[in-house]
Chains A and B, each alone.
Chain A
Amino acid sequence: MRIFERRAAPAEGAAAAALSTALAILAALAVGGLLFLPFGADPFSAYAALFGESFLTWRGFGFTLLKAAPLILIGLGTVVAWRTGFGFLGFEGCVMIGAAAATWVALMVREGQILAGLPFAAFLPLAILASLIAGGIWSGIVGLFKSRFGGNEVITSLMMNYVALLLVQYLVSGPLREPGGLPQSPRLPRETWLPQLFDGMRANAGILIALAAALVVWALLLRSRIGYEMVVTGLNPKAARFGGVEVGRRQFMAACLAGGLAAMAGMVEVLGLHHRLIDGMSGGVGFVGMVAALLGKLHPLGVVIASTLYAGMTVGADAMQRQAGLPSSIVFMIQSLIVLFILAGEFFRRYRLRLPGRRTASAGEGV
């Protein structure tokens, strides 16, 4: 009663991979299209509005780039961690930690504080460094547990997310609280805000920071000896160790770098969008960034493309909800379905449905 049978030869070429990715995206869009129907919307015009708003209008594309920056940084963190075999899921927490660190530095630039009057050119490197270090230490704890004591990074990093969320909640309801206001920090001084790319466009320097980070990660992972050792560690830790790679040290490095990158996403959110630290402000972005990284095949360039696509979908969904009253949750479903279908597609490249009447492939017989 087997339902699936193994293909004689798995469909492994680049064309087959591209085709299955394209089919997965189409299938997810088709399912998403059906979801518009109960709300009385025509799927085709809904999609046209969704992508048109976020990619074809100047205003909308600015928002898309604004939203893409943190996703790219989180996706890059995912690439570094997962390619090194470090199953880290704590990006959401690192975003919050990075946001808190950047807020802390930015608040010191206020009138009468230690760093008052600091020019932006000096402030930005300082903020980047602060968020990198804070996020690196935060995820480094998990990396240390894994590389030094053999702990389970999957569960530990999930739990660290909640600790980070609670830590920020404590900060904005205690030490960093705006006097008399909601549980949030005071507004950051204007001179610490990320500058806009063009007048009248919401996109800011965050996207440039993200693209620069993508270049660095690409060079490190795919063009350097350390990066090569990290990738080998992820592919086969035993063989890597046999080949002289210090597996534990490389995984620890990957952990710190991944957390640092995600923390920079938090910095970009604070300095470029919210301009203050807010309880629960990450809102799941750490997980969406991971999904975008998977769609980008864990490659830095793929991450940039997939993150921009996902950011655009999010922006389009918000506009759709505002203007036509269609639930933006449809887009979350499409975003996750794309990757779920790609994963299922990998199965169908190795197996096929067993149909009555079809000759079963056996050794030597070919298809």
Chain B
Amino acid sequence: MDVDFALTAFLTGWLAATVRLAGPLLLAALGELFAERAGVLNIGIEGVMLLGALVAWWAAWSTGSLWLGMLGGMAAGLTAGGFLGFMYVTAQASQVVVGVIFNIFALGLASYAYRLILGGASGAQTAVMFSVLPIPLLSEIPFLGPILFRHTPLVYLTALVAAGAWFVLRRTSFGLNLRAVGENPRAADTAGLDVTAYRYAGVLISCVAAGAAGAYLVLAQVGQFRETVVSGQGFIALAIVIFGRWDPLRAAIAALIFGAADALQLTLQIFTSGVPPQLLLALPYLVTILAMSGLIGKADQPESLMVPYSRE
């Protein structure tokens, strides 16, 4: 009986942490999905998440409002998106190069701004964090309740965003046109679609989502800003998009798998097991490498991904 109880406690704790950790990853991945569907590989979301995290922490700490913090993170994402959109779409620079260099720039900017903000204040600043909002009735369901329905509001919102993203991509003309632009921009242009506008839209959506994901990390998981708050989660979001084969619902499943690996590693550190934690931590990356290696069929990526479009 005791073994059963321990097992249930372990499973509940692990799966609840899975959902909690998957949230920001999924949010960033959903935005990236729009950029990639429009034909732009936005590697810069790693840096955008960091800037979103910084501004969100600053806004929440100075105004005392968590939702203003979230808005601040999204505004930071929008600003970064304007710059990245210019580089990717208008200047037609190499998307990989721009994204990678932007990430370095963002790291410098965030660390600089953080020092500037803290300059006048003393000591480490703690912002208030979103508290858990159990959903009435549903959260009382045994086993499933604590796993799915005892989270911060941001978890539920992310689930809504996933459903919304699926609807927009699959069931609206905007989504159809966006996908057309990513598959064959010349044909889309001939058909009268504004390729530039759709690609900008994709980049901006991805950056706003990344800014929100950065805000999410600060406001619901860490509680304050650190330069290491993102550390690769933007890249994992890129992997989730590919692993989820450019579909919002499959991306949600992929995000849960990545979250589960991360949570398992955290949980197993409490128990002492023979498995090195690094192996568990490496699992998501290894799975992505395998998925992208071409060994198990080519991933069906948008045809014009990473190819800048110019009319002549």
Q: Are A346 and B101 in contact (CB under 8 A)?
A: no
Q: Are A158 and B104 in contact (CB under 8 A)?
A: no
Given A4-B90, A329-B111, do A159 and B235 touch, yes or no (CB 8 Å)? yes
With an 8 A cutoff between CB atoms, is A152 at the interface?
yes
Closest chain B CB from A303 CB (angstroms) = 15
Q: Are A332 and B107 in contact (CB under 8 A)?
A: yes
Q: Are B298 and A150 in contact (CB under 8 A)?
A: yes
* Residues of A with C-beta under 8 A to B112: 35, 327, 329-330, 333
Closest chain B CB from A160 CB (angstroms) = 7
A-binding segment of B180-188, B245-253, B289-297 = B289-297
Q: Are A340 and B108 in contact (CB under 8 A)?
A: no
Task: Name the one of A38, A89, A336 contacting B105, with C-beta atoms under 8 angstroms.
Answer: A336
Give the complex CA separation of A220 and B288 in angstroms.
Answer: 34
Q: Are A291 and B93 in contact (CB under 8 A)?
A: no
Q: Are A329 and B108 in contact (CB under 8 A)?
A: yes
Give the complex CA separation of A316 and B129 in angstroms.
Answer: 39
- A residues 284-324 near B (Cβ < 8 Å) are 284, 287-288, 290-291, 294
With an 8 A cutoff between CB atoms, is B218 at the interface?
no
With an 8 A cutoff between CB atoms, is A198 at the interface?
no
* Residues of B with C-beta under 8 A to A163: 282, 285-286, 289
Q: Are B295 and A151 in contact (CB under 8 A)?
A: yes
With an 8 A cutoff between CB atoms, is A169 at the interface?
yes
With an 8 A cutoff between CB atoms, is B97 at the interface?
yes
Q: Are A340 and B98 in contact (CB under 8 A)?
A: yes
Q: Are A287 and B289 in contact (CB under 8 A)?
A: no
Q: Are A343 and B239 in contact (CB under 8 A)?
A: no
* Residues of A with C-beta under 8 A to B289: 145, 156, 159-160, 163
With an 8 A cutoff between CB atoms, is A47 at the interface?
no
Q: Are A170 and B276 in contact (CB under 8 A)?
A: yes
Give the complex CA separation of A35 and B111 in angstroms.
Answer: 12
With an 8 A cutoff between CB atoms, is B299 at the interface?
yes
Number of A residues contacting the other chain (C-beta, 8 Å)? 48
Give the complex CA separation of A344 and B98 in angstroms.
Answer: 10
Q: Are B292 and A87 in contact (CB under 8 A)?
A: no
Task: Name the one of A35, A149, A332, A347 contacting B293, with C-beta atoms under 8 angstroms.
Answer: A149
Q: Are A170 and B295 in contact (CB under 8 A)?
A: no
Name the prevailing secondary structure of the A interface residues. helix
* Residues of A with C-beta under 8 A to B86: 344
Residue of B nearest to A339 (CB): B101
Residue of B nearest to A331 (CB): B108
Given A327-B115, A344-B87, do A145 and B232 touch, yes or no (CB 8 Å)? no
Q: Are A170 and B278 in contact (CB under 8 A)?
A: yes
Q: Are B105 and A145 in contact (CB under 8 A)?
A: no
* Residues of A with C-beta under 8 A to B295: 145, 149, 151
With an 8 A cutoff between CB atoms, is B41 at the interface?
yes
Given A150-B298, A152-B292, do A87 and B96 touch, yes or no (CB 8 Å)? yes
* Residues of A with C-beta under 8 A to B279: 166, 170
- B residues 93-141 near A (Cβ < 8 Å) are 93-94, 96-98, 100-105, 107-109, 111-112, 115-116, 119
Give the complex CA separation of A333 and B236 in angstroms.
Answer: 24
Give the complex CA separation of A322 and B239 in angstroms.
Answer: 39
Residue of B nearest to A171 (CB): B278
With an 8 A cutoff between CB atoms, is A154 at the interface?
yes
Closest chain A CB from B111 CB (angstroms) = 4
* Residues of B with C-beta under 8 A to A347: 90-93
Give the complex CA separation of A145 and B294 in angstroms.
Answer: 6
With an 8 A cutoff between CB atoms, is B30 at the interface?
no
Give the complex CA separation of A335 and B232 in angstroms.
Answer: 21
Q: Are A344 and B93 in contact (CB under 8 A)?
A: yes
- B residues 26-43 near A (Cβ < 8 Å) are 41, 43
With an 8 A cutoff between CB atoms, is A337 at the interface?
yes
With an 8 A cutoff between CB atoms, is B242 at the interface?
yes
* Residues of A with C-beta under 8 A to B104: 284, 287-288, 291, 332, 335-336
Can you report 20 A-B residue pairs in the complex whose CB atoms are below 8 A from each other? A38-B116, A39-B116, A89-B100, A145-B293, A146-B294, A152-B299, A152-B301, A158-B235, A159-B285, A162-B235, A163-B289, A166-B285, A284-B107, A290-B100, A294-B97, A330-B108, A332-B108, A333-B105, A336-B108, A343-B94
The 4 residue pairs across chains A and B that have the minimum distance between CB atoms: A149-B294, A332-B108, A151-B294, A347-B91
Q: Which residues of B contact A (CB under 8 A)?
A: 41, 43, 86-87, 90-94, 96-98, 100-105, 107-109, 111-112, 115-116, 119, 232, 235, 238-239, 242, 276, 278-279, 281-282, 285-286, 288-289, 292-295, 298-299, 301, 306
Give 14 new A-B contacts, CB below 8 A, not counting A39-B119, A145-B295, A347-B92: A38-B116, A145-B294, A155-B238, A159-B286, A159-B289, A160-B285, A163-B285, A166-B279, A294-B97, A327-B112, A329-B108, A329-B111, A340-B102, A344-B93
